[in-house]
């Protein structure tokens, strides 16, 4: 283990100061390499260190198990939410094609206006200790804001999750944070509704002309991607999105390749699937005016999308925490092994030294 050289030297410095500056650590490591003796910690120090590493390992092990149990629950939530999302997309697609063939669609959520300001809704976790999870999202958000600014578009942020809220609230001079929410332990329709209400009023009120979601897509337990998805407006902009009534701005819509109904299909397959299932036949009776149906369908779709983003984000967070804690436990185990070796070596050396002293004394 490479870190051992550096770590060992920190014992001489007092042991407690784990956060050695990189340059210091490098110096210490060099010193350790050229003259090992200068880096000797007392046996008691090593013993204490082993004890503390052992305790840390117990904690990280427990956290891993907790995260594993929770990730299962979160995964179930994602899976049980899928029928709703896919049916809704089917329905929306059908209504949309019908409307397009019949008349001009006019719903506030479909309004494509020249974009001056974008609302970015970014989903982080409430807690840390989950590897790069929060950081990836924060970096992606910053990057997206920079991209928008470069093209002369303003951006404001709506943060979901304590970590993201904290990060951007410290940087209010650079970023405009409009609202913050907590992710919570179990996102339900209620939470997503609250977020969707804010988005809805912002967009329909004309404060922003586009709404984007940045969240971590749950791919599997070991892999998840931070993605940018356009939520509003819901109409395809020009030639970018041709078939799907719910998807927009495919150029930078990374989710598009995964579709909004299921994580597993590619664009082509999904759209053709929609064409088969979602296409209403000509005889379909609209009990209400199609316009009226669309007006009520779109908020439902929006809430569903926000809920899914919340669920996926939570599932990814827990999976990331599970992985982080797993490698932390592995590291602790490795560290413990090396320290024990060091300790035994030191102890043996001490005993040998004492024997030599006794033997030497008896000879004289």
Partner 1 sequence: MTLKVSLITPDCVLWDGPVEEALLSTTTGLMGILPNHAPLLTALEIGPLRLRNENKEWLSFAVMGGFATIKDNALTLIVNQAESGTSLEKATVEENLSKAKAALEEASTPADLIEAQIAYRKAKARFEATLPKS
User: Which residues of this chain interact with partner 1, rule CB under 8 A?
Assistant: 77, 80-81, 83-85, 87-88, 91, 94-95, 188-189, 192, 280-281, 283-288, 292-293, 296-297, 300, 303-304, 307
Which CB atom, from 111 or from 295, has the smaller least distance to partner 1? 295
DSSP class of residue 40 equals: P
Taking the C-alpha atoms of residue 330 and residue 324, their distance in angstroms, rounded to an integer, is 10
Tokens standing for 83? 């029928």
Q: How far is CA 160 from the centre of its chain?
A: 11
Minimum distance from residue 112 beta carbon to partner 1 (Å): 25
Alpha-carbon dihedral sign for residues 162, 163, 166, 172 = negative
Active-site residue flag, 130: yes
Strand partners, 232: 211
> Are residues 92 and 305 in contact, defined by beta-carbon separation less than 8 angstroms?
no
Minimum distance from residue 214 beta carbon to partner 1 (Å): 21
Say which of 39, 130, 241, 247 is annotated catalytic: 130
Sequence-separated (6 or more) residues with CB below 8 Å from residue 98? 280, 284, 286, 290
Strand partners, 225: 217
Minimum distance from residue 18 beta carbon to partner 1 (Å): 44
Sequence-separated (6 or more) residues with CB below 8 Å from residue 107? 291, 294, 295, 298
Minimum distance from residue 87 beta carbon to partner 1 (Å): 5
Taking the C-alpha atoms of residue 295 and residue 231, their distance in angstroms, rounded to an integer, is 16
> Are residues 187 and 314 in contact, defined by beta-carbon separation less than 8 angstroms?
yes
Tokens standing for 215? 């969240």
Minimum distance from residue 318 beta carbon to partner 1 (Å): 18
Q: How are beta strands 210-218 and 117-123 bridged, if at all?
A: parallel
Sequence-separated (6 or more) residues with CB below 8 Å from residue 23? none
Tell me the Cα Rg of the chain: 28
Minimum distance from residue 76 beta carbon to partner 1 (Å): 9
Taking the C-alpha atoms of residue 316 and residue 226, their distance in angstroms, rounded to an integer, is 10
Which CB atom, from 15 or from 279, has the smaller least distance to partner 1? 279
Q: Which active-site residues does the annotation give?
A: 130
């Amino acid at each position: 283990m490479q870190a051992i050289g550096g770590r060992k030297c920190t014992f001489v410095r007092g042991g407690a100061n784990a956060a050695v500056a990189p340059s210091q650590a490098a110096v210490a490591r060099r010193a350790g390499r050229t003259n090992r003796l200068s880096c000797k910690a007392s046996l008691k120090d090593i013993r204490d260190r082993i004890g503390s590493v052992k305790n840390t390992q117990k904690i990280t092990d427990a956290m891993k198990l907790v995260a594993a149990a929770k990730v299962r629950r979160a995964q179930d939530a994602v899976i049980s939410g899928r029928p709703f999302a896919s049916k809704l997309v089917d329905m929306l697609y059908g209504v949309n094609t019908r409307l397009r063939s019949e008349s001009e669609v006019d719903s506030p959520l479909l309004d494509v206006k020249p974009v001056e300001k974008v609302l970015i809704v970014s989903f982080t976790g409430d807690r840390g200790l989950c590897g790069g999870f929060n950081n990836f999202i924060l970096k992606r958000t910053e990057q997206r804001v920079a991209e928008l600014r470069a093209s002369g578009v303003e951006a404001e942020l709506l943060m979901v999750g304590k970590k993201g809220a904290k990060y951007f609230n410290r940087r209010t001079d650079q970023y405009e944070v409009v609202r913050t929410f907590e992710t919570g332990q179990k996102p339900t329709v209620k939470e997503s509704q609250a977020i969707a209400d804010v988005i809805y009023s912002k967009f329909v009120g004309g404060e922003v002309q586009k709404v984007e979601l940045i969240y971590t897509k749950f791919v599997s337990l070991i892999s998840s991607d931070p993605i940018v998805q356009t939520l509003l407006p819901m109409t395809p902009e020009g030639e970018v999105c041709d078939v799907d009534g719910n998807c927009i701005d495919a150029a930078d819509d990374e989710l598009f390749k995964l579709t909004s109904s299921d994580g597993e299909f590619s664009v082509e397959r999904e759209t053709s699937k929609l064409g088969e299932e979602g296409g209403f036949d000509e005889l379909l009776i609209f009990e209400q005016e199609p316009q009226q149906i669309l007006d009520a369908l779109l908020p439902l779709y929006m809430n569903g999308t926000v809920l899914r983003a919340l669920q996926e984000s939570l599932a990814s967070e827990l999976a990331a925490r599970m992985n982080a804690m797993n490698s932390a436990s592995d590291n602790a185990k490795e560290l413990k092994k090396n320290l024990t070796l060091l300790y035994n070596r030191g102890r043996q050396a001490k005993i040998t030294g004492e024997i030599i002293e006794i033997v030497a004394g008896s000879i004289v």
